[in-house]
Amino acid sequence: MPEFYGTHVASRLMLGTAQYPSPRVLEDAFRRSGAGIATVSLRREAGGEGAGTAFWEMIRALGLPVLPNTAGCHSVREAVTTAHMARELFDTDWIKLEVIGHADTLQPDPFGLVEAARILTEDGFRVFPYTTEDGVLGGRLLEAGCEVLMPWGAPIGTGRGLNNVYGLRTLRAQFPDVPMVIDAGLGLPSHAAQAMELGFDAVLLNTAVARAGDPAAMAEGFARALEAGRLAREADPMEPRDMAAPSTPVLGLAVLG
């Protein structure tokens, strides 16, 4: 199972907690998926003293490590401030760092991301940066103190899967010993299996599960796909060929005339 900042987690699935039709459905999705980490946006807790208490108690009752995130932050200052508030509220040094640079694609701002990662790392945070498949950016984040990379598969909430397989494969090969999580853009369990086949360590989901007709069933489907993809990776799969190759050898077969 994957390890992040010295902590082993029980599953390769990280599951978000937003957009579910009801708390019961959220709990069922976590139960059936066996997710190893729950991700939570601080903004769900905003709104006044005591706001969000019932939600937070429900998340705590899941008994999972919590990964707060700086969702919706568009500047370094906003992301750093949100991270400090999250650490105080959730009592964890883990933070999923988002610094959004483009309103339509929700693509990370690479310059702000590196700057915020450096500030937070120096402040004692364990940073999980939401990034792209850019290897240069990945290297800068590691230099800033990150020990995990979370490249997107596709823009958040699109369900398009792995848009740039070549780029993701290259990033994985460039930093073979760095834990990596595909974060954002997955829509089907097959996308998660593909991420495992490429050698990634985990995936982070929210919309694909929460917006499904049956979120709990979809969550379980993703969990099973992750295991299938990981087994395939570890089995050393065959290389693709351009020409057909018979699965039954012709040598030694009887010739009927």
Residues in the annotated binding site for 1-deoxy-D-xylulose 5-phosphate: 157, 184-185, 206-207
- 59, two tokens: 């998340």
Cα–Cα distance between 127 and 142 in angstroms, integer?
A: 10
* H or E, element range at 131: strand 126-131
Quick one: three-class SS letters along 155-213?
CCCCCCCCCCHHHHHHHHHHCCCCCEEEECCCCCHHHHHHHHHCCCCEEEECHHHHCCC
So which residues are the catalytic ones?
A: 96
Residue 4, SS3 per DSSP = strand
- 37, two tokens: 């980490």
Cα–Cα distance between 46 and 44 in angstroms, integer?
A: 6
